[in-house]
């Protein structure tokens, strides 16, 4: 691999979000943002929710919204593992995409929490019924 580029792989649980050569990565950890270039020493960081910016080898700058995750740089390979990541065409488009994605996630979370509450209530009801049947 060329010493003036890195291979960026951003992995979410269900898909590979990015897998391409890049010349620069900017991300944010708990203690602030940092920049990685190809000759940077090997590095590990816990990422906080925010923007991950990168410069593809082809030029320009791209942005990705991520939630918390882990970044590992080992030689020319940079792997980022996150629960959610969204790429937009530009910062404005990314903001709109993030809002849409998180609205869907919020709806799913509400449905899941409602289902869990119903299951817990059913469990308690059946447990109480079981206790009553043993008293008789």
| DSSP E strands, 30-83 | 32-36, 43-47, 50-56, 62-66, 69-74, 77-82
> Are residues 47 and 69 in contact, defined by beta-carbon separation less than 8 angstroms?
yes
pLDDT tens profile 101-124:
666 566 666 666 677 777 777 777
**Pair 41, 49: CB distance under 8 Å:** no
Q: Alpha-carbon Rg of the chain, whole angstroms?
A: 22
pLDDT category at 57 given cuts 50, 70, 90 is very high
Give 107-123 as a 3 state SS string.
Answer: HHHHHHHHHHHHHHHHH
Q: How confident is the model at residue 34 (pLDDT cuts 50, 70, 90)?
A: very high
**pLDDT, greater one: 91 or 105:** 91
Architecture, CATH, for domain 6-88? Sandwich (2.60)
């Amino acid at each position: 691999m060329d010493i003036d580029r890195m291979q960026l792989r951003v992995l979410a649980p269900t898909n590979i979000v990015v897998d391409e050569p890049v010349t620069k990565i900017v991300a944010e950890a708990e203690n602030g943002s940092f920049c990685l270039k190809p000759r940077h020493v090997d590095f590990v960081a816990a990422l906080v929710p925010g923007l991950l910016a990168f410069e593809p080898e082809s030029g320009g700058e791209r942005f990705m919204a991520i939630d918390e995750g882990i970044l590992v740089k080992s030689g020319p390979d940079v792997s980022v593992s996150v629960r959610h990541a969204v790429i937009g065409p530009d910062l404005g488009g990314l903001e709109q995409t993030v809002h849409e994605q998180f609205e869907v996630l919020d709806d799913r979370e509400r449905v899941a929490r409602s289902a869990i509450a119903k299951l817990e209530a059913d469990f308690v009801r059946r447990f109480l019924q079981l206790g009553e049947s043993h008293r008789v």
